[in-house]
Structure 1
Amino acid sequence: MADNNGGPWGGGGSGGDKGNKNGGGNGRKPDTPQIPEIDELMRKGQEQLRVLMGGKGRGGGGASGDGGAGLPRGTFLFAGLAAVVLWLFASFYTVKPEEQSVELFLGEFNQIGTNGLNFAPWPLVTYEKFNVTTNRTESLGINGSRDSGLGLMLTTDENIVDIDFQVVWNIKNARDFLFSLKEPELSVRAISEAAMREVIAQSELAPILNRDRAAIEANVRQLIQKTLDQRKTGISVLRVNFNKVDPPSRQVIVTAVDGSQKRVSVIDAFRDVQAAEQERDQRERQADAYANQRLAQARGAGAEILEAAEGYRAKVVNAALGEASRFSAVLKEYKVAPEVTRRRLYIETLEKVLANVDKIIMDNGEGGSGVVPYLPLNELRKNSQGGSN
């Protein structure tokens, strides 16, 4: 059994020879291999690790023994190639058209990445990418917040209004967005609520509920954008949308004239007032339409009367001018032949007077001596009665 004293690897030799225990013996290997012990395996592994790290094994003469052989050189090449691939994978990145990237050199701003493939040598240079085209929405108010009193705001006429609204925003500058705000969503919500309360505090309740919603939305958006720009947040506010603008939905007890009490909702009362105001506006529009119609008719009738008067005036003036011209012509003829002109005027006057007279002319000469004079009283009486009617 003395042949197996060389250890589990069969490095046999004379017992007690330390050089042989270190793996330098020339003994004969056993015919049957033995299972190595765990301690020996660990020792061999440590020696191989020392060789890989540039050290020496525990064998004599400074050289490693049979059990201290290093790993193949291909293993090191493969490990190095894998490390290079991983480094390149971590250093190259792609920026899409809807994104912006911010490169950081040892944690400080370096530059803004361009669209497409970019190179940031890791770990010295890192990057952050942001989607700058996606619209983000923050909802504020009773329905958009866990705080039930967030949407209740005080107006300048000391009324309370319940407002639910949305703020739509996106990123316009990735550098400012990265370094200016720790929690962008909460900052946008806080600034939006403050801006809305400021604008509502400068407005009365009736315009807020009816006609000034668009103007209030525009003013709130401008105020939010101004505040964000002053803080260099890199955020662009696209629009502000009202979801609900109503009086509070709480109920109150109302005492009537006869002393009876009833519970009435504030919002119902305001809606009744709005309905009455709408009916009033409708009646006013109807009255204005009727007034405009009657006024147009009166103006048309007045214009017609003026045109008729103008026509009559022109007719009378033209007739007077014609009579004056005729008189001037007759006077001129009278000066030339007075007797003839006088006779002519006399005959024309008789012609005009006798033209409309029912008359019978009888000749008292020889031809009319046989006519019996007859006065038709009945006919004259009928004519006189018809003329009086």
Structure 2
Amino acid sequence: MRKGQEQLRVLMGGRGNGGGGGGAPKLTKGGIVLGLLAAIGIWLFSSFYTVKPEEQSVELFLGRYLETGQPGLNFAPWPVVSYEVIPVTRENTEDIGVGRIGGDAGLMLTGDENIVDIDFQVVWNINDPAKFLFNLRDPRTTIRAVSESAMREIIAQSELAPILNRDRGAIASQLKDLIQSTLDSYDSGMNVVRVNFDKADPPQEVIDSFREVQAAEQERDRLEKQADAYANRVVAGARGEAAQLLEEAEGYRAQVVNEAEGEASRFSAVLQEYQKAPEVTRKRLYLETMEEVLGGIDKIILDEGAQGSSGVVPYLPLNELRRSGGN
């Protein structure tokens, strides 16, 4: 201490104790000014600090929160104002699960009373450095406990099959929101960036049996798909056949109706002609009917008037002659 006092006296323009000459040292005006400037320079140098772009600072006035310093050059008058620089944009990762920490944190009970082994990651950063610094004693332990509790709550409301097969993305989104809401209720100043699923499997002790069950379920699904495809083919064929029968029935109905309507029209026309000339019409109908009946068969015509006294009926085989002539 005495050595320091001696150096200060020399700086202020006085003489040290050594080299003879006693009495109080004399301070010159220039020495005083120089000393004040040096002290001010040291004070300013100690009061200015730089914050990097990925950081923010928390300034304290006599131990009480004052303000948050932004990236760039900041001023904190020493010694009444102190500060602590916090990396706010750096992403921190918490790994939770059996494969990560060697415990049973990843073993969780599902809503259908099955056990699932889950490994997941919670990636977070800081969005309020003051809250992060003052409201949490151990931030990493806090976010691990909150994440594990939130995951157990969500898994307890889900069944095993959706967790293993389809709903991991939905669970990750739900988990992120639940963790964030819990951290916000603590005024933690922490922000959950994302949640990553590493795995979701049955416990190691039963994973082989579970895979056998999965293989059986896949085989069942395959057979169900084959049965559905066969049913679709059969139903489609039956529908096509039914449609064809309906079309044929409609065609037959239309044909019968048309024929009946045609017969009715012809009968009406004949009736009109009959009313005009009954005898002529009757004879014409008789001749047309005989022509229709006898037109396609062999005929033998006998003329009783040509029969002589001998009783021999004259016979002329016209049909045989016509056929032989045609040959």
Q: Same fold (TM over 0.5)?
A: yes
Mapped to 2, the partners of 1:47 and 1:140 lie a distance apart of 60
Distance 2:64 2:122 in 1: 31
- Which residue pairs with 2:101 in the alignment? 145
Q: Is the 8 A contact 1:166 1:243 kept in 2?
A: yes
- 2:195 corresponds, among 227, 240, 250, to 240
Residue 126 of structure 1: how far off its partner (Å): 4.2
Superimposed CA distance per residue, residues 368-387 of structure 1 (whole angstroms, 9 cap, x where no aligned partner): x99743887xx9xxxxxxxx
Q: Is the 8 A contact 1:52 1:70 kept in 2?
A: yes
Q: How far 1:345 sits from its partner (Å)?
A: 2.7
Residues 229 and 69 from structure 1, CA distance in 2 versus in 1: closer, same or farther, beyond 3 angstroms? Answer: closer
Q: State the match for 2:317 in structure 1.
A: 373
CA deviation map 1:67-108 (0-9, x unaligned): x78697595477357426514xx4253452x55444443333
- Bigger drift between 133-142 and 282-291 goes to 133-142
Q: For each residue in 1:310-334, what CA deviation from the matched residue of structure 2 results, as whole angstroms up to 9, or x when unmatched?
A: 2322232233223223322332332
**Aligned runs of 1:45-56 on 2, under 5 Å?**
46=6, 49=9, 52=12
Q: Which residue of 1 aligns with 2:309?
A: none
Distance 2:8 2:197 in 1: 74
Deviations 1:286-316 (A, max 9, x none): 2112212221222222222222222322232
Does residue 249 of structure 1 match 2:204?
yes
Residue pairs, 1:61-210, within 5 angstroms:
73=31, 76=35, 79-80=38-39, 82-83=41-42, 86-87=45-46, 90-94=47-51, 96=53, 98-114=54-70, 117-146=73-102, 148-210=103-165
- Matches of 1:345 and 1:239 in 2, distance apart? 100
Matches within 5 A, 1:168-317: 168-250=123-205, 266-317=206-257
Higher relative contact order (CA 8 A, sep 6+): 2
C-alpha spacing 1:326/1:134, structure 2 compared with 1 (3 Å): farther
- Work out whether 1:340 is the aligned partner of 2:294: no
2: distance between equivalents of 1:205 and 1:294?
36
> What is the TM-score of this pair, normalised by structure 1?
0.64
The letter of the residue matching 2:144 is R
Following the alignment from structure 1 to structure 2, what is the Cα–Cα distance between the partners of residues 164 and 336?
A: 106
Which of 316, 320, 331 lines up with 2:271 in the alignment?
A: 331
Structure 1 residues 48 and 165 mapped into 2: Cα distance closer, same or farther (>3 Å)?
A: closer
Residue 278 of structure 1: how far off its partner (Å): 1.4
Given residue 213 of structure 1, which amino acid in structure 2 is its aligned partner?
R
Say whether the 8 Å CA contact 1:133–1:170 is kept in structure 2. yes
- Provide the C-alpha distance between the structure 2 equivalents of 1:101 and 1:334, rounded to a whole number of angstroms: 121
Looking at structure 2, the residues matched to 93 and 268 of structure 1 have their Cα atoms a distance apart, in angstroms, of 58
State the number of aligned residues. Answer: 309
CA RMSD of aligned residues (A): 4.1
**2:55–2:70 CA contact under 8 A, matched in 1:** no
Q: Contact 2:114–2:160 at 8 Å: present in 1 too?
A: yes
**Structure 1: gaps of 5 or more residues:** 1-41, 251-265, 380-389
Q: How far, CA to CA, are the matches of 1:216 and 1:104 in structure 2?
A: 41
Q: Distance in 2 between matches of 1:193 and 1:306?
A: 66
SS in 1 for 2:98: coil
Instruction: Give the direction of change, closer, same or farther, for the CA distance of 1:238–1:372 in structure 2 (3 Å limit).
Output: same
**1:195 Cα shift?**
1.6
Code of the residue aligned with 2:48 in structure 1: it is S
TM-score under structure 2 length normalisation: 0.75
For residue 349 of structure 1, what is the aligned residue in structure 2?
A: 289
Alignment correspondent of 1:10: none
Taking the aligned partners of 1:270 and 1:349, their CA distance within structure 2 comes to 88
User: Which amino acid is 1:373 matched to?
Assistant: P
Aligned residue type for 1:162: D
Once residues 136 and 171 of structure 1 are traced to their aligned partners in structure 2, the CA distance between those partners, rounded to angstroms, is 9
Whichever residue aligns with residue 181 of structure 1, its letter is L
For structure 2, which runs of at least 5 residues remain unmatched after alignment? 307-312
Distance of 2:234 and 2:77 partners within structure 1: 85
| Whole-angstrom CA distance in 1 between matches of 2:9 and 2:24 | 14
One-letter amino acid of the counterpart of residue 91, structure 1:
F
- Equivalent-residue separation in structure 2 for 1:186 and 1:47 (angstroms): 51
Does the 8 Å CA contact 1:172/1:236 hold for their aligned counterparts? Answer: yes
SS at match of 1:312: helix
Specify the alignment match of 2:310 in structure 1: none
Residue 220 of structure 1 deviates from its aligned partner by 2.8
Report the residue type matching 2:125 in the other structure.
N
Contact 1:104-1:126 within 8 A present in 2 as well: yes
Q: 1:51 to 1:182 in 2, by over 3 A?
A: closer
Measure, in 2, the Cα distance between the counterparts of 1:304 and 1:130. Answer: 81
For the residues of structure 1 that align with 2:300 and 2:290, how far apart are their CA atoms?
14
In the superposition, relative to structure 1, how do residues 218 and 335 fare at CA in structure 2: closer, same or farther (>3 Å)?
same
Identity %: 54
2:298 paired with 1:359:
yes
